[in-house]
Structure 1
């Protein structure tokens, strides 16, 4: 009997819609936050110092995630994951409302933007493990790779339309960008309330909570396939993250203004969504590890092309390839992590994965901003792309388990399943 399509399951449909609306709102809001930070900074600072302020936005979002990771994973395994997701969406509604008020009253300052960035970091710290661990509870195991691809489509579709929506709304009426984000977050919250109760994992309630938190870190450290999948993304995107510098490219290099910034922000997601759509119909089944490695190499090479480009069409094409390759890597990584991790531990392992994702994104943005202030934005982007290629080649040698992974199945016939060592 054929496995049910994820969209035939009402709970997954509500989950998918909530992911789409939340990502639309979040990506629109963060693009404008970066634009406002850079433009406010440029009133009194040099271009290099202004780029460094963009780095601070990423750093401020990363700090709460780093500090809260052990707690957020444990909470996602202990409490109802739906309640956690709803609370984080509400927190983001508050953040969007604060930004809308300060923009409307023309009282926006860098401290306000940095404070809200920290608030959003807290929301993301709890949302990532809860939402990531919730998805496998909504669909049968055999349907999970398709569900991951569809969830990624929602994520990437939000990344496509969100920056464009935020950029064009801001160009029309600045406050409209944040009001639009708040409205979309409200829709996401309503969708999450429509998800009916789902089975919750059994967790050892005798074992000390601190020990349970450590168990998640131990599982990742001892399962080399999961460790490789998580940390490769950490280092590659940390080095080659160019998105933090898009305001610099839009204003000072390509000179395309906020409308061009919206297009640059959406370009990676166009490529990513196309790849995710392909996987939703034709899931990847063979040589998944080696294909992931090649995808990260292409990701780094396309980043170099974007860094060197002075043509808007070429820059958009390079960013689309960046997004496509990143989506390929994300699809493989998330499928490996979800299918190689027991459900009672998915929240804690997901928290570790979320930490590395944020380290690669937010901390990578900080690294890009600070490096751009030192050596210039073009050199920073090109060096990052080259670093991503180099680290991928090293991983192919250091983690043969990843290179040899033939499928997502933890116990594929003819192969030894990857198991963690004993504590």
Structure 2
């Protein structure tokens, strides 16, 4: 017997029962970003591998262990995008839309790919909404990004479940001085480090600060602190950000070990975390990457952004029972028709109703069936009302309206008054 076909491990179907919540979340975010003046950009999901090596860093876990990379028929090395910032920077450079200091406030949405160990809230194909801003260097735009995410949590009803963690990584020069001090401290204690941290000691030592190994964390208690190596420019920038968050009334926690997993970050970094999802606690994260555009061949261009994980935030909404009740119902009205003349009339009336009531979710019966079977399908659809049309109703130019979710008698309404009457029923 041949093996049954199934999805690749860690790459999941999003079924019709799940998509209403996804659409609600995505629509809420899109509406919010529209209100803040951000414009959508759409990039390909496949890029030249060199893009991610140059931007993310060749010694990061993503590039070393997690990317889906392959050669195409031309012999070019291509990679399914593991994150969106690099692609967005490539796009704005290629099309010259940040030239001359033009401010760009952009957002995107779509799938990303990393070969990780699948677990709840962590998948090999996952979906993100990302926001990127170019040519604004001050802490005011850093604050705006955090303020708009705070507003989003309010719209979704999850503010009490998330915490903002902040840190400053300083300039590249400040990080280099700190890196030297950290390596010196840890090298003298290398035998006490876990295997992964030993490897990072020579390649990406700041990532050791983010280690989840308790023994390594204990070792870091007396390690040099990044805050002691910050340059004056970065201190002033961080103070400016904190002042704006304080003015906006947004609570936060300073996390000196927050470094993020990508090489291009500098100065501000932040994460929104939750303790409601187990190990996968980060739902939104980002920071400033002022050197990335220049690193990728452009002119010096300040940049800052964030990305949020759709799977995790959808899971958080479900866990906190913050899914709007109306999402459970995908049909307002189910149209039952009995006989050929009734089916023809129902088709015409259904289209007239869609013209009169934009947004009406009307499902017209297909496949004929008895009175009993069609009403059963109407009930199963979750509709609030069934419209009933038979040969007699066609002759009288009326339609029966039958409540399905509450007690009530079926009423007969003339065709010309049907739209107005139905609108009143649905608003009641």
Report the TM range for the smaller structure's normalisation. under 0.3
Give the structure with higher Rg (CA): 2
Higher relative contact order (CA 8 A, sep 6+): 1
TM-score (ref. length: structure 2): 0.20
Task: Select the structure that is richer in helix.
Answer: 1
TM-score (ref. length: structure 1): 0.20
Task: Select the structure that is richer in strand.
Answer: 2
